[in-house]
Amino acid sequence: MLETDGLLKEFGGLVATDDVDLSVESGERVSIIGPNGAGKSTLINLITRRLDPTDGDIRFKGESIVGLKPHQVVQRGVSKSFQTASIFPDLTVRENAEIAALAAEHGEFGLNFLTHRNDLSSVRELAEETLADVGLLDRADTEAVDLPYGDKRRLEIGIALAAEPDLLLMDEPTAGMSPEETQSTVDLIERVKAERGLTFVLVEHDMEIVFSISDRIVVLNRGRVIAEGTPDEIRGNPDVQEAYLGGVEL
Ligand SMILES: Nc1ncnc2c1ncn2[C@@H]1O[C@H](COP(=O)(O)OP(=O)(O)O)[C@@H](O)[C@H]1O
Ligand SMILES: [Mg+2]
């Protein structure tokens, strides 16, 4: 489904991702871990086309997406759960989900949906379904600004899901959440994974979550992939323990 080939990103003299070959099969759940500054967010932002690679290629379903704009990548089927930035605070939860569903069909902020009025009922339905999935249906008419933090983060995941992605990218979706909010987000990811058979790439610092939710784990350090494997393989990998955890037992 996704393949990066020699992906290099430099910021001035700093190499943020260094020759990264990442491949994700359809239906696979891949987590990316690594210390702060390892290049995890850069890698995600390259895939969503928020950043241009310095070198290398990114293929989605066999076709290069390096020349595409971010909204074109969404239309191909790649969504990212953006941190809060994707929420329109003054709109209701429902309106936020509907806009996301519309944008995926008709382009980012494209107003050409006015010529596709027949599609609006399907957009409404999809938004409703998505809000049910993320457990926000009972708050559908609340203004997004009034949601508690954990619900806002779940709405972001909902906004990403409303685009009906084939591949969902999440960058630390539980950052800043309370233990209860974290648990309900993990439950949500598990449920969506079971119900929608979603392929995802997750960046997450909580190892308990990573080990329980992933089919495969990719370890980045200083921009390079230093290990990859199943949770069991990664748990026992001495290089990972050394580089990433300073020798702490996993
Ligand atoms: N827009 C940017 N401009 C300059 N340097 C950046 C930028 N974004 C990230 N970096 C640098 O690239 C490296 C990788 O960062 P990042 O991908 O955010 O790491 P991670 O998400 O693993 O913590 C870091 O050294 C960071 O300071
Ligand atoms: Mg990051």
- d(CA 35, ligand 2 centre) in Å: 9
Helix 120-133, helix 93-106: angle, nearest 10: 120
Q: Is 42 in the pocket of ligand 1 (CB under 6 A)?
A: yes
pLDDT of residue 60: 97
Arch. (CATH architecture) of 1-69+167-172+197-250: 3-Layer(aba) Sandwich (3.40)
CA–CA gap between residue 11 and residue 67 (Å, rounded): 19
**Domain regions of the chain by residue span:** 1-69+167-172+197-250, 78-164
pLDDT of residue 183: 87
**Among protein residues, the one whose CA lies closest to atom 1 of ligand 1:** 11
Alpha carbon of 228 to those of 7, 24, 100, 183, 234: distances in Å?
A: 16, 12, 33, 26, 7
Q: Is 11 in the pocket of ligand 1 (CB under 6 A)?
A: yes
Residue 236 is classified by DSSP as: T
pLDDT of residue 153: 85
Contact 41, 202 (CB under 8 A): no
Q: Is 171 in the pocket of ligand 1 (CB under 6 A)?
A: no
Q: Is 40 in the pocket of ligand 1 (CB under 6 A)?
A: yes
Atom of ligand 1 nearest to the CA of 51: 1
List per-residue pLDDT tens for the chain, 250 residues long.
999 999 999 999 999 999 999 999 999 999 999 999 999 999 999 999 999 999 999 999 999 999 999 888 988 999 887 655 678 999 999 999 998 888 766 554 444 555 555 567 888 988 998 899 888 999 999 999 999 988 888 898 888 888 788 999 999 888 888 888 888 888 888 888 777 788 999 999 888 899 999 999 999 999 999 999 999 999 888 888 776 666 555 5
Question: Residue 27 carries which side chain, given as an amino acid letter?
Answer: G
For residue 170, which of 183, 153, 145, 146 has the smallest C-alpha distance? Answer: 153
Helix (H, G, I), strand (E, B) or coil at 146: helix
**Among protein residues, the one whose CA lies closest to atom 18 of ligand 1:** 41
Task: Give me the CATH topology for the region 78-164.
Answer: Rossmann fold (3.40.50)
Mutation probe of ligand 1 site: the residue of 8, 10, 11, 50 with most atoms within 8 A of C-beta: 11
pLDDT of residue 110: 47
Q: Is 24 in the pocket of ligand 1 (CB under 6 A)?
A: no
Question: Residue 245 carries which side chain, given as an amino acid letter?
Answer: L
- d(CA 34, ligand 2 centre) in Å: 9
pLDDT of residue 144: 96
Atom of ligand 1 nearest to the CA of 35: 22
- CA dihedral over 145, 148, 153, 155, signed as positive or negative: negative
